[in-house]
Chains A and B, each alone.
Chain A
Amino acid sequence: MSAVAAARVDLSGRGARVGLGLLGVVVVAAAWQAVAAATGNPLVLPAPTDVVTALVQLVTDPQTRTDLLDTVRRVVAGFVAGSVGGLLLGAGIGSFRVVRELLNPYLNFLRTVAPIAWIVPATIWLGVGEPSILFVVVYAAVFPVAINTISGIAAVDADKLRMARAVGLSPVGTFARILVPSAVPFVMVGARLGLGLSFMAVVGAEMIIGQSGLGYVIYDARTFSNTALMFAGILVLGVVGYLFDLLFVGLRSSLFRKYYAGREAA
């Protein structure tokens, strides 16, 4: 009994959490290796060892580094543009009743359409190239930011708005000094979602019309039936996406801490 109790106490520690995480990775990798060996066909399921080999090739190849940078550049550019657009759109819709009534149906329709569905019309308008890929990434980021900004503005406490009126703050001043700062935690939730969706959108766009990028690498690996390379590409995507999320959370808690009034950011 006491040993069990002691083990329970240990499991709540940070070291134990990391240890359990690693154990999970090792167990899954071992199971994967066993299943891959049993399948015996690397085209269907490459063994983790093959994937690691492909991964090493991928990350040491200067061409792939260019691909990685292209993908990251597209995500960052599309995400930043989409977030700013989403913030302005959401703030406009959230603050002005007329704009809200006018644009809400469009917002609710467009946000349910998968960003990648726009890749073909985008190529008609913008050509087969960077602008079309960026269009899809921007599209992915705009809506989560816009919708969360609208919620953030709707959640502003009525007393803050009354105080603003009582001290004689203008509508523009109220927007800039009350509504937007109050909505920051909501905007950040949307932006974090938007960042994840940007990574998803960029891969689809690169697969369909890209001449470079990790999506292109994964899609191109089919030409040589190199399943291990596909897996390696997916692995890199996952890791890069994860690192960008960590970076986002880190920047958020250092740059926007004061907007959280001491609460933990979600």
Chain B
Amino acid sequence: MTGQPDVQTVPPLLEVSGVSYSYKPSLPPVMEGIDLSIRSGEFFVLLGPSGCGKTTILNQVAGFEKPTTGTISLKGEKITGPAPDRAVVFQGHESLLGWLTVRQNVEFPLKVAGVGTGERRARAQKVLELVELAPQADKFPHELSGGMKQRVQIARGLVTDSRMILMDEPFGALDAQTRGTLQAELSDIWERERRTVLFITHDIAEAVILADRVGVMSSGPRAYLHSIVPIDLPRPRRRTAEFNEYIDLLEATVSAAKARRPLETGTVAA
């Protein structure tokens, strides 16, 4: 895309360098040598098969887990644990507090941060409208559908001014139709809010719908970041011929990553 600042001049918001992870020293690492930079305002999708360590990378960025080797820094500061500057959207909805209403759940991070009642209300209302949940604000999570529950989580992630939102396959447990709707909505919300997102998935189409750039992981153990594919498509992304070329390109890249060989040039038109 034209008009974007030069990658070289803007320091990355998130820097992952030389990260590897093993459950035990006696076991081979799940992934190793991961180098990755995410720019401020970017929607970055990490794509890979299960067991490649992509969720582990997200957990390390969140600060829930520590890399065995290597470092992860946010704005030049090494990440040592979880902090409110990185909001997390989990795959399941168990992180929602069942005894609080939707509104109270969304206000929760603000309440913990000591934000006053009035401002809390206003900010929660704004994000609830953004995810189209304002009419359900006073319901309890168990009264909502799976898709709505994930929207509550997204609203909770957006309500603070966290530098990053980390999403771990947030639509993985939803039916295809709901997933499609939420993908389109998330792309739309992202375009309006321009928050930095790290999004984990194993769904190629999801990556093409959402990402500015897609990091493709090989399979584990000893998984590595095979390549980074920029998706240069206007939003909202429809199933155009160009869209399908990206699908083909990513499919070829995923196969190459699985076989641990470089992508052969000329095999895909895009």
Contact = CB atoms under 8 A, between A and B. Distances in A.
Nearest to B141: A261
Given A159-B95, A178-B97, A167 B140 contact: no
Size category of the B interface is 20 to 34
B95 A167 contact: no
A262 B109 CA distance: 24
A17 interface: no
Interface string A140-176: 0000000000000000010110110111110001000
User: Secondary structure at chain A's binding surface: helix, strand, loop or mixed?
Assistant: helix
B244 to A, nearest CB: 36
B98 interface: yes
A104 B109 CA distance: 34
Given A162-B64, A165-B82, A261 B142 contact: yes
Given A159-B90, A160-B97, A167 B108 contact: yes
A181 interface: yes
A65 interface: no
Given A162-B64, A173-B112, A167 B84 contact: yes
Nearest to B98: A261
Nearest to A169: B112
B56 to A, nearest CB: 14
Contacts of B64: 162, 165-166
B62 interface: yes
Nearest to A158: B94
Interface string B31-65: 00000000000000000000000000000001110
A242 interface: no
A163 B98 contact: no
A168 B81 CA distance: 10
Given A262-B142, A262-B143, A162 B99 contact: no
Nearest to B81: A165
B112 A162 contact: no
Interface in B78-117: 81-84, 86-88, 90, 92, 94-95, 97-99, 108-109, 112-113
Contacts of B99: 181, 184, 258-259, 261
B92 A258 contact: no
A166 B97 contact: no
Contacts of A262: 140, 142-143
B57 to A, nearest CB: 15
A168 B90 contact: no
Size category of the A interface is 10 to 19
A168 B97 contact: no
A184 B109 CA distance: 22
Contacts of B98: 258-259, 261
A258 B40 CA distance: 40
**Residue of A163, A178, A262 contacting most chain B CB atoms (<10 Å):** A163
A157 B143 contact: no
Given A178-B97, A261-B141, A262-B140, A162 B84 contact: no
Nearest to A260: B98
A177 B83 CA distance: 18
B123 to A, nearest CB: 14
Contact of A168 (B84, B95, B140): B84
A258 B97 contact: no
B97 A162 contact: no
30 contacts: A159-B90, A162-B64, A162-B88, A162-B90, A163-B90, A163-B95, A165-B64, A165-B82, A166-B63, A166-B64, A166-B84, A166-B86, A166-B87, A166-B88, A167-B109, A167-B112, A167-B160, A168-B82, A168-B112, A168-B113, A173-B112, A177-B97, A181-B97, A184-B99, A258-B98, A259-B99, A261-B140, A261-B141, A262-B140, A262-B143
Interface of B: 62-64, 81-84, 86-88, 90, 92, 94-95, 97-99, 108-109, 112-113, 140-143, 160
Given A168-B113, A261-B142, 16 more contacts: A159-B92, A159-B95, A160-B95, A163-B90, A166-B84, A166-B87, A167-B112, A167-B113, A168-B83, A169-B112, A177-B97, A181-B97, A259-B99, A261-B98, A261-B99, A261-B140
Interface of A: 157, 159-160, 162-163, 165-169, 173, 177-178, 181, 184, 258-259, 261-262
